[in-house]
Amino acid sequence: MLVALMIDEEIGRCERDWFNRTVVGLISARQRVVRLLPDTMPDDPRVALTPRVAYRASGLPWTLSASIRQLAESLQSPKPDVIHAIGSGAWRGALTLAGLLDCPVALSVWSREQARAAQRHASSAHLGAVLPAGESLARLCGRGVPRELIQVVPIGVYVAPEPHRILAQVEFSVAVILAGRGAPYSAIEVLIDGFAMVAPDFRQVTVFADLDEPVKGRAWRRAGDRSVRDQFSLIPDVLEHRELVLSASVLAVPFATGRNTSFLLQAMAAPMATIAVPDPYIDVLNGSDAATILEHVEPAAWATALRRLLSSPDAARERAESARRIIAQRHSMSAQSDLLCATYERMVTGGNVTLSA
């Protein structure tokens, strides 16, 4: 089977490693793969032997339509059996392309917004499957998408054979990564205030904050107001520098993103001790012991969670290793490949794709 994987610019920027591993996984499962990538995205030498076809990802509507027509012409021989669109910025183009090539489309759904958007595409003639990343997103998709088109495909990540030992020098140095892209300032303020409550007792701890530009200045001033600026640092996008970030001990997720990413799963698999606010659309943060979930999103709750973790490194390591096992069981790359291959087969043969229990 020839599978055309079509991604948007955001996936190309933030999920390149995951995408490359997905390509390799499908090839290992004896699928032929062609990569349909935005023309702004450079090729990656790790998968350069897999055919790459560029398409125009931005511009005026008529130029985008022309780009999809050109893409269809370049894919006529051989024609893909299935198009798999990853990232909602690629959905419309993928559905148009499917109409020109007369083949089915699978849409990956990783967020609350995408689940709602998928409902609007439910009547598309060439929609063959909707692939939510978790059960909670599947239920949301099911409000408008026929259940027989929904197949849960958890995001797969690589789990290294040996775990990263967190808090190994807890008395000397501890790095806390604040994953705050997209967070409102109010969520960052609450976390800084909570950190300020424990920082005097843990001078070896530094918070490295990844924030949106409009929030950085206000967060830096707040850190100064709370006298923790010497333990607070601003860093570039963690998604583009994840190898370095994943060597830290603690991950703090200060707001409900409603969006699944490979980064959170990789952090838990490293492992990193994770503290997060409740998020109903990220399954790994619900109904498992993979992270410390704040019952109340307030400074005292952050302070309590941080203090408990830093005061009991052995317990923190045990919980982080439990999270690592959960990720290995539920989010392996091999399981993702198996589910994708089975779904593609059903799309082509006309068999139903069923909502998992």
Domain of residue 210, CATH code? 3.40.50.2000
User: Quick one: pLDDT band at residue 357, thresholds 50, 70, 90?
Assistant: very low
Average pLDDT over residues 154-178: 94
Does the structure show a pLDDT above 50 at 314?
yes
Tell me whether residue 356 is in a domain: no
Using alpha carbons only, give the angle 139, 142, 148 rounded to the nearest 5 degrees.
120
User: Distance of CA 274 to CAs 106, 196, 249, 264, 289, Å?
Assistant: 32, 19, 9, 9, 10
**Tens digits of per-residue pLDDT, 231-243?**
999 998 777 678 8
Same domain, 221 and 337: no
Could you tell me if 234 and 220 are in contact, meaning their C-beta atoms sit under 8 angstroms apart? yes
Q: Do 195 and 324 have their domain in common?
A: yes
The C-alpha R_g of the chain, in whole angstroms, comes to 21
In sequence order, the 6+-apart residues with CB closer than 8 A to the CB of 152 are 131, 132, 133, 134, 135, 137, 138, 339, 355, 356
DSSP label at 146?
Answer: -
Residue 351, pLDDT score:
64
The residue written with tokens 């059960």 in the block is 135
Same domain for 98 and 188, yes or no, is: no
129 and 95, same domain (yes or no): yes
Residue 68 CA, distance from chain mean position: 27
Q: Based on the fold, state whether residues 151 and 204 are members of the same structural domain.
A: no
| Whether residue 339 sits in one domain with residue 310 | no
In a domain, 168, yes or no: no
Query: Is the domain of 206 the same as that of 279?
Result: yes
On whether the CB atoms of residues 170 and 313 are closer than 8 A, the answer is yes
Q: What is the pTM of this model?
A: 0.93
DSSP per position, 156-221:
PB---SS---TTTTTTT-EEEEEEETT--HHHHHHHHHHHHHHGGG-TTEEEEEEE-HHHHHHHHH
pLDDT at 126: 96
Name the maximum alpha-carbon separation found in the chain.
66
Query: For 47-103, what is each residue's pLDDT tens digit?
Result: 878 999 999 877 667 678 888 999 999 998 899 999 999 999 999 999 999 999 999
Domain interval for residue 73: 2-156+332-349
Q: What percent of the chain has pLDDT over 70?
A: 97
3-state class (DSSP) for residue 90: helix
CA angle, 220 as apex, 214 and 222 as ends, to 5°? 105
| Residues contacting residue 214 through CB under 8 Å, at least 6 positions apart | 185
Let me know if residue 167 belongs to a domain. no
Is residue 125, in this structure, part of any structural domain at all? yes
* Res 60: pLDDT: 62
Q: Which pLDDT score is estimated for 106?
A: 98
62 contacts: CB under 8 Å, gap ≥ 6:
none
Same domain, 88 and 61: yes
